[in-house]
């Protein structure tokens, strides 16, 4: 039960104390981890991700006037604005995510009144576990319930994404919001970024995820990210001219077709293209392996994914490579790869739960030996997605 979660009780207590009433609605949304399928989302491909067991709670109640009062309990800051006219502000960047969601809801149905709201969570901010999407989604679910606005989960994901684009200025895809909404205990979330079909793939309860955050961020990350995207779009256009069927994105190109026609691309462009093509295949194969409970096979695909990042897409870095190599010989570890955009950030490790703590300690130590400071290692369990907890 989410109500066992400590932030839930702290939030309720603070809401009572500060606002002198009980919240009418409380909703919860978790962070997420990308487990397999790297840079496949904008190539209209497949991703396996997981909602995790850290998340954010959002509590709210109606006001008689038109004011929206919003408190970030983690940083103990409050802002007030007109519910009918939320505007992005640099003074309180955290408020922009909620204002953006509110604007998205108001576009579907005018808001009848103001609101007292407060949120609190236990996702480390800005470390790639998507605290921003968790905030958007818990706010979205709670406010939709409070204002009586019916929103289906995919639409809610789009409201969160639009808040991120228009109010926070971050051009994210939909993976973070979808993972937070569709997570289920003991499963991975498989998303098809062409059809937006989502399903849960059982992972079992004996394994968990270890996230090792290097805190490395190599220069020009945004520039490199955009260049990779352009390379994928460029090669998709090339394959569209040589293949006998329509190619809208690299999703439409098989490994065999890449082999047969790669000669028309430069060596660099061909290497870039095989990464999302291969990742897409690995996600499909990975889901099949999980259906047969072949966790070792799934782990091997994670190592292959990292190798493809390292040598073909070149979105890895020495910090990430070291962690993946250090993970291989650790007992109970099944697989490891970089997670997210790359060029720094985190490695996700699939490990037997009983071995996770020792594996985390070993990885932090190996990292410390190589780079002079330990990396963060956090054990995370694939968990239930966002939902209204109360009200």
Query: For binding to ligand ADP (CB under 6 A), which residues are involved?
Result: 56, 72, 74-75, 93-94, 97, 119, 121, 125-132, 135, 170
Taking the complex as a whole, how short is the minimal distance between the CB of residue 11 and ligand ADP, in angstroms? 10
Would you say 287 and 201 are in contact if contact means Cβ atoms under 8 Å apart? yes
Report the residue number, 129 or 201, with the smaller CB distance to ligand ADP: 129
Active site residue 176: yes
Taking the complex as a whole, how short is the minimal distance between the CB of residue 119 and ligand ADP, in angstroms? 6
Q: Interface with Mg ion by CB under 5 A: which range of 128-136, 189-197, 301-309, 377-385?
A: 128-136
161 binding Mg ion? (CB under 5 A): no
For residue 121, the partner it binds in Mg ion, ligand ADP, none, with Cβ less than 5 to 8 A by kind, is: ligand ADP
Taking the complex as a whole, how short is the minimal distance between the CB of residue 133 and Mg ion, in angstroms? 6
Q: Please name the residues in contact with 384: beta carbons below 8 A apart, sequence gap of 6 or more.
A: 2, 30, 51, 183, 184, 185
Based on DSSP, count helices (H) and strands (E) in the chain, helices before strands. Answer: 11, 12
200 binding Mg ion? (CB under 5 A): no
Report the residue number, 121 or 360, with the smaller CB distance to ligand ADP: 121
Taking the complex as a whole, how short is the minimal distance between the CB of residue 131 and Mg ion, in angstroms? 6
Taking the complex as a whole, how short is the minimal distance between the CB of residue 164 and Mg ion, in angstroms? 7
Report the residue number, 308 or 346, with the smaller CB distance to ligand ADP: 346
214 binding Mg ion? (CB under 5 A): no
Cα distance between residue 249 and residue 251, in whole Å? 5
Report the residue number, 182 or 367, with the smaller CB distance to Mg ion: 182
Report the residue number, 97 or 298, with the smaller CB distance to ligand ADP: 97
96 binding Mg ion? (CB under 5 A): no
Q: Closest-CB residue for Mg ion?
A: 132
For residue 296, the partner it binds in Mg ion, ligand ADP, none, with Cβ less than 5 to 8 A by kind, is: none
Select from 199, 110, 119, 201 the least CA-distant residue to 149: 110
Report the residue number, 179 or 191, with the smaller CB distance to ligand ADP: 179
Cα distance between residue 117 and residue 135, in whole Å? 12
179 binding Mg ion? (CB under 5 A): no
Would you say 69 and 382 are in contact if contact means Cβ atoms under 8 Å apart? no
For residue 75, the partner it binds in ligand ADP, Mg ion, none, with Cβ less than 5 to 8 A by kind, is: ligand ADP
Max CA separation in the chain (angstroms) = 70
* Ramachandran assignment for 362, one of left (phi > 0), alpha (psi -120 to 50 degrees), beta (any other): alpha
- Beta strands 77-82; 187-192: pairing state: unpaired
Taking the complex as a whole, how short is the minimal distance between the CB of residue 164 and ligand ADP, in angstroms? 8
Q: Interface with Mg ion by CB under 5 A: which range of 122-130, 182-190, 328-336, 370-378?
A: 122-130
Taking the complex as a whole, how short is the minimal distance between the CB of residue 103 and ligand ADP, in angstroms? 17
Taking the complex as a whole, how short is the minimal distance between the CB of residue 299 and ligand ADP, in angstroms? 25
- Secondary structure class of 316 (helix, strand, coil): coil
For residue 15, the partner it binds in Mg ion, ligand ADP, none, with Cβ less than 5 to 8 A by kind, is: none
132 binding Mg ion? (CB under 5 A): yes
For residue 208, the partner it binds in ligand ADP, Mg ion, none, with Cβ less than 5 to 8 A by kind, is: none
Q: Determine phi and psi for 67, rounding to 5 degrees.
A: -80, 140
Select from 59, 54, 61, 51 the least CA-distant residue to 9: 59
Q: Where are the beta strands (DSSP E) in the chain?
A: 25-36, 46-63, 67-72, 77-82, 114-121, 187-192, 198-202, 207-217, 333-339, 344-352, 376-380, 387-390
Q: What is the CA radius of gyration of the chain?
A: 22
Select from 84, 180, 187, 186 the least CA-distant residue to 137: 180
Would you say 305 and 282 are in contact if contact means Cβ atoms under 8 Å apart? yes
Which of the following is catalytic: 53, 176, 252, 384? 176
Report the residue number, 127 or 352, with the smaller CB distance to ligand ADP: 127
Q: Interface with Mg ion by CB under 5 A: which range of 124-132, 232-240, 364-372, 373-381?
A: 124-132
Report the residue number, 48 or 134, with the smaller CB distance to ligand ADP: 134
- Secondary structure class of 207 (helix, strand, coil): strand
Q: Determine phi and psi for 44, rounding to 5 degrees.
A: 60, 30
Contact footprint for Mg ion (CB under 5 A): 130, 132
Catalytic residues: 176
């Amino acid at each position: 039960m989410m109500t066992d979660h400590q932030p839930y009780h702290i939030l309720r207590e603070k809401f009572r104390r500060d606002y002198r009433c009980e919240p009418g609605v409380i909703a919860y949304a978790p962070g997420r981890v990308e487990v397999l399928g790297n840079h496949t989302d904008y190539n209209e491909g497949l991703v396996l991700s997981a909602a995790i067991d850290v998340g954010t709670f959002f509590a709210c109640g109606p006001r008689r006037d038109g004011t929206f009062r919003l408190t970030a309990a983690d940083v103990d800051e409050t802002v007030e604005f007109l519910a009918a006219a939320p505007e992005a502000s640099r003074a309180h960047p955290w408020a922009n995510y909620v204002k953006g969601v509110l604007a998205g809801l108001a576009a579907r149905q005018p808001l009848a009144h103001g609101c007292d709201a407060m949120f609190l969570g236990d996702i480390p901010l800005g470390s790639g576990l998507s605290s921003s999407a968790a905030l958007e989604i818990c706010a979205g679910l709670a406010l939709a319930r409070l204002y009586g606005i019916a929103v289906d989960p995919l639409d809610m994901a789009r409201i969160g994404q639009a808040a991120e684009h228009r109010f926070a200025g971050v051009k994210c895809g939909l993976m973070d919001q979808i993972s937070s909404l569709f997570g289920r205990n003991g499963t991975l979330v498989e998303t098809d970024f062409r059809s937006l079909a989502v399903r849960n793939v059982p992972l079992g309860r004996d394994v968990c995820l270890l996230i090792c955050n290097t805190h490395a961020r190599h220069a020009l990350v945004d520039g490199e990210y955009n260049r990779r995207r352009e390379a994928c779009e460029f090669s998709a256009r090339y394959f569209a001219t040589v293949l006998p069927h329509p190619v809208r994105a690299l999703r439409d190109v098989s490994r065999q077709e890449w082999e047969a026609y790669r000669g028309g691309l430069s060596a660099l462009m061909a290497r870039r293209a095989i990464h999302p093509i291969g990742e897409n295949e690995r996600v499909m194969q990975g889901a099949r392996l999980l259906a047969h409970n072949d966790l070792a096979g799934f782990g091997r695909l994670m190592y292959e994914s990292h190798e493809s990042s390292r040598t073909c897409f070149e979105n890895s870095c020495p910090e990430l490579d070291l962690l993946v190599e250090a993970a291989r010989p650790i007992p109970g570890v099944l697989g490891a790869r970089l997670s997210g955009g790359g060029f720094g950030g985190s490695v996700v490790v699939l490990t037997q739960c009983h071995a996770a703590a020792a594996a985390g300690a070993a990885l932090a130590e190996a990292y410390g030996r190589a780079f002079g400071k330990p990396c963060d290692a956090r054990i995370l369990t694939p968990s239930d997605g966002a939902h209204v907890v109360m009200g």
